[in-house]
């Protein structure tokens, strides 16, 4: 670990944290049962859940897609380097935990611009003795800075898996496509793109209702079609891995999603809807529940 990203003054971090506006990373944390969020984030999550009561399945299956993709890349394809942009708050089964379980020497660089994520970044730097992890406090919209800092930990002469999981729907078209191109251009042959993205192709009424709750709170929220998601691969001459761009729960399912330990029924009855989400079993998913595309591509 370089530790550079963790040298920020605590007072400066507190100044940067805006508790009056919801933040995507913190709303995501609410759905994953995390504790590193604020009332405004819980309000945003609750509004989204009210608009789409099964919407937590998008979040949880998106996360489970990341687990499966990283496992496959480390186990089957021999990828040993991962650049995870839009990391979000530390939670169970982060990329380094998944990759280093398969290959302890794996190197992982996390990138996020939320000061709350930075404040908890030490949890992302608990690498095993054979591997390396680092955290970069940077914005996705500044790929040059990301690449410059990541090169301190990653070897750009060797394949890298670029993970853009549930981040691009917060970025406008005129910025998203060129940034992805700039990032991929810096990576060598054999590198991978691991991508997931919200869409209105699948269950438009549900996701549009969620979109309204987020845009009312000032979020950029771009729902892209399968063709528009596919462009991130075709524009960069990537070879899509089977089964291509598909709903997240259909990307090489292994039916091994962790099942949360269930509390006593009496305790569960005291929780509100958003608090119960953390205990939900996601194996009852149907096609009517999912609004997330997932795909992995290889750079030739």
pLDDT per residue as tens, the chain (300 positions): 444 445 556 677 677 777 888 888 888 888 888 877 889 999 989 998 898 999 999 999 999 999 999 999 999 999 999 999 998 877 768 899 999 999 999 999 999 988 888 877 776 778 888 999 999 999 999 999 999 999 999 999 999 999 999 999 999 999 999 999 999 999 999 999 999 999 999 999 999 998 998 888 888 889 999 999 999 999 999 999 999 999 999 999 998 888 888 889 899 889 888 888 888 889 999 999 999 999 999 999
8 Å CB contact between 104 and 131: yes
Question: What pLDDT, on a 0 to 100 scale, did the predictor assign at position 3?
Answer: 43
Cα–Cα distance measured from residue 264 to residue 286, given in angstroms and rounded to the nearest whole number = 27
Which of these, 189, 288, 171, lies nearest to 228 by C-alpha position? 171
Q: Which residues are CB-contacts of 171 (< 8 A; sequence separation ≥ 6)?
A: 140, 141, 179, 220, 222
8 Å CB contact between 199 and 223: yes
Which of these, 60, 54, 65, lies nearest to 202 by C-alpha position? 54
| Residue 265: Cβ-neighbour burial (10 angstroms; 0-12, 13-18, 19+) | exposed
8 Å CB contact between 210 and 48: yes
Query: Torsions phi, psi of 214, nearest 5?
Result: -80, -45
Q: Hey, what are 142's tokens?
A: 């500044």
Question: What pLDDT, on a 0 to 100 scale, did the predictor assign at position 83?
Answer: 98
Q: Which residues pair with 85 in a beta bridge?
A: 111
Cα–Cα distance measured from residue 272 to residue 281, given in angstroms and rounded to the nearest whole number = 17
């Amino acid at each position: 670990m370089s530790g550079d990203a963790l040298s920020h003054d605590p007072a400066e971090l507190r100044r940067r944290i805006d508790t009056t506006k919801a933040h995507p990373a913190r709303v995501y944390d609410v759905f994953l049962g995390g504790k590193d969020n604020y009332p405004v984030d819980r309000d945003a999550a609750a509004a989204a859940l009210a608009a789409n009561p099964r919407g937590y399945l998008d979040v949880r299956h998106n996360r489970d897609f990341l687990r499966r993709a990283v496992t496959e890349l480390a186990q089957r394809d021999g990828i040993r380097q991962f650049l995870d942009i839009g990391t979000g708050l530390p939670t169970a089964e982060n990329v380094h935990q998944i990759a280093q379980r398969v290959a302890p020497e794996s190197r992982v660089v996390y990138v996020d611009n939320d000061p709350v994520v930075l404040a908890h970044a030490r949890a992302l730097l608990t690498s095993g003795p054979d591997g390396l992890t680092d955290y970069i406090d940077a914005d996705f919209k500044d790929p040059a800075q990301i690449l410059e800092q990541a090169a301190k930990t990653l070897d750009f002469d060797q394949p890298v898996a670029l993970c853009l999981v549930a981040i691009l729907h917060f970025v406008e078209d005129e910025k998203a496509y060129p940034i992805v191109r700039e990032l991929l251009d810096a990576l060598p042959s054999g590198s991978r793109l691991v991508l997931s993205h919200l869409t209105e192709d699948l269950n438009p009424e549900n996701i549009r209702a969620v979109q309204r709750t987020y845009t009312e709170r000032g979020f950029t929220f771009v729902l892209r079609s399968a063709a528009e998601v596919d462009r991130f691969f075709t524009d960069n001459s990537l070879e899509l891995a089977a089964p291509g761009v598909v709903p997240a729960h259909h990307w090489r399912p292994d039916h091994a999603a962790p099942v949360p330990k269930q509390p006593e029924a009496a305790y569960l009855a005291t929780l509100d809807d958003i608090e119960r989400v953390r205990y939900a079993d996601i194996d009852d998913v149907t096609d009517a529940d999912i609004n997330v595309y997932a795909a992995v591509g290889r750079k030739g």
